[in-house]
Structure 1
Amino acid sequence: MSQLFPRATLKRIIKSHRNNALTKNVDVMIYLDYVLFLQRLAEEANTEANQDLNEKTIEERHVIAALERVLQEFQG
């Protein structure tokens, strides 16, 4: 089975920013949180586009408008 993301690379990035010991699967949790963030951002940008005269495509301005709301939700 192929991996969804390069675990070794992600672990190296996490360790370069933290000096503390990390649990075994912390990289998986961070990756899943990242995926959930992107999914929520896409949903909010889609909602923003639909409210903007029922546009069919999501543009940069829709993502920027949705970004602040999604970041507030994921602050932690």
Structure 2
Amino acid sequence: MAPSQTLYPRSTVKRIIKAHSDRKLSKNVDVMIFLDYTLFLQDLIREASIRSKQAGERGVSARTIRKATETSLRKFKG
């Protein structure tokens, strides 16, 4: 993908978010949601990696991700 192209239509994302929240949205709300999502995934992978090492596994499996999901969701509940 060329660097000048956008990855998603910002107006569509804002419309979806507004339909679910019934609140006024700031100018860059879609960017903030994307960054929060990225931080959540980073934390989830870190927690799953720690759990898999503690269990003596060689890599991260779907089971360790499911176990780490609850912990990560609690941190990002807001």
TM-score, with length taken from structure 2: 0.83
Query: What aligned pairs does 1:25-64 form with structure 2 within 5 A after superposition?
Result: 25-53=28-56, 55-64=57-66
- Residue from 58, 69, 72 that aligns with 1:67: 69
- Residue from 10, 15, 18 that aligns with 1:12: 15
Give the whole-Å Cα distance in 1 for the aligned partners of 2:43 and 2:7. Answer: 19
Aligned residues: 75
Q: Deviations over 1:29-66 (max 9, x none)?
A: 1110011001110111111111111x222111101111
Give the whole-Å Cα distance in 2 for the aligned partners of 1:59 and 1:32. Answer: 25
The alignment status of 1:24 with 2:27, answered yes or no, reads yes
Q: Which runs of 5+ in 1 are unaligned?
A: none
Q: Which runs of 5+ in 2 are unaligned?
A: none
Q: CA RMSD in A?
A: 1.5
Q: Which runs of 4+ in 1 moved over 6 A?
A: none
Q: Deviations over 1:14-40 (max 9, x none)?
A: 011022221101111111001100111
